[in-house]
Amino acid sequence: MKSKIYLYLFVFTLLLVLFMYVNSKSILEKYEKDITTAKERIEIYKDSLTVLQDENYDLMYFNLEHNEDAITYFEKEGIDVTTLIPFLKDELYKLNEAKGEHPLVPYVAMTNGKMMINNIKFLNHKWIIADFSDGKYWGELFLTYEITKDKQLTYRLVEHFLYPPQSY
């Protein structure tokens, strides 16, 4: 009788150990699969990050804030670039407040609104690209700008276009 109890106890223990082994193995396999999936995602995200960094670098290429030659040009003139860029933007946006039509936009508003400059991008120490709209119609401008010897800011409209109206 005593030997049967030990036999049953041994078989029970063996089954318990076998169950724990199988259960642990399945848990480990699941964790390994999760780790592999996570590593694959990390690689995909690293590749995506590299692509986005390259794209960001390309977008910064024609940008006054990242153009060392243009910054050097202003520094030689004794102009602080960190205050110049906000000043230039403010001056262009102030033209939106002018009475009547916008002085730089060569199109008259075709709605009850007014043509106004919305976005500005300073390409370098001489060129600006801007977009304008009256709420329904929009277009883009290519401007040159210059700061004269007496520290006056002048703009010259070089090129412009108005997108054809879209019907939806």
pLDDT in tens, 126-156: 999 999 998 888 999 999 999 888 878 899 9
pLDDT at 168: 58
Q: Average per-residue pLDDT in the chain?
A: 89
pLDDT tens for residues 27-66? 999 999 999 999 999 999 999 999 999 998 888 888 888 8
Q: Quick one: residue 136, left, alpha or beta (phi over 0 = left, psi -120 to 50 = alpha)?
A: alpha
Bridge partners of 80, per DSSP, are none
pLDDT at 101: 86
Maximum C-alpha span of the chain: 114
Distance between CA atoms of residues 73 and 20, nearest Å: 74
Query: Terminal CA-to-CA distance of the chain, rounded, Å?
Result: 91
